[in-house]
Structure 1
């Protein structure tokens, strides 16, 4: 069974739009024009589903540029905190992944 992916959702552009466009370009490889369009379309997915750690790293790059982001589980659609626990503590409602194994419910510890 394939592990669910996590994508970065651009929630709001923030005040530093030039920095935000540069960060989007860095992460996506889009042109300046396409990056600005994506920023103006918030909320919008910035990354394709991928590993939780990669999504959290991408969210950090965007947040450092002033963008408001969320990391969303592609499988159960819950928002995951970049810290140690979920923002949405409800049970995983995905159709194939066991709730006790959902990484949105139980992000990996930083010690492992």
Structure 2
């Protein structure tokens, strides 16, 4: 899961704004989707000489250091759908921890 150091600070800022209630869940998801589209465009430019380009690549957010799989945008959206659900509360704590420890990262696989 290749780390995308250029995009990680932007994701940390978005998640920080979300935790501070400066943006809502829909805004967070929309901006993450824009980031994913930009990553796809960047990958397409790098691979334009190749005959076959994989379209199955996606943005993954590694919330904290021990998170080996990361989360897709749709998984984040689903977990945050109902703020009182335990999954949402666990994810929010994970995001807060990842931001506090500077471990939240963007990956593209």
Q: Same fold (TM over 0.5)?
A: no
Q: Quick check: which one's helix share is greater?
A: 2
User: Which one scores higher on RCO, CA 8 angstroms, separation ≥ 6?
Assistant: 2
Structure holding more strand per residue = 1
